[in-house]
Amino acid sequence: MSDTKIVDARDTFCPGPLMELITHMKQSSVGDTLELLSTDEGSGADVPEWVNKVGHEILSNEKIDGVWHIKIRKAK
Partner 1 sequence: MRILVVGGGTGGTIVANNLARRLSAEIRSRRVRITMLSASDKHMYQPGLLYVAFGQMTPDQLYRDQASLLEGTIDFHVDPVEKFQLDQNKVVTKSGKVYEYDILVMATGSRIVPEQIPGLVEGAETFYTEATAVKLFKRLREIQEGTVAVVVGVPHKCPIAPVELIFGLHDYFKARGIRDKIKIKYHYPIGRIHTIKEVAIWAKPEFDRMGIEYETLFNVGEVDVENKVVRSEEGTETQYDLLIAIPPHRGMEVVEKNNLGEGGWIPTDRFKLTMNGHDNVFVLGDTTNLPVSKTGSAAHFQAEVVAENIASMIKIGTPVRDYDGKVYCFIETGHDSATYAMFNYQNPPDLKPPSKPMHWFKMSYNQMYWTSVRGLL
User: Rg for the chain (alpha carbons), in Å?
Assistant: 11
Instruction: Decide: is 2 part of the binding site for partner 1 (CB under 8 A).
Output: no
Closer to partner 1 by Cβ: residue 22 or 67: 22
DSSP letter at 39? -
Largest CA distance in the chain: 32
Closer to partner 1 by Cβ: residue 1 or 14: 14
**What distance lies between CA 66 and its chain's CA centroid?**
16
Active site (catalytic) residues: 14
Residue numbers at the binding site for partner 1 (CB under 8 A): 8-9, 11-20, 22-23, 26-27, 40, 42, 46, 49-50, 53-54
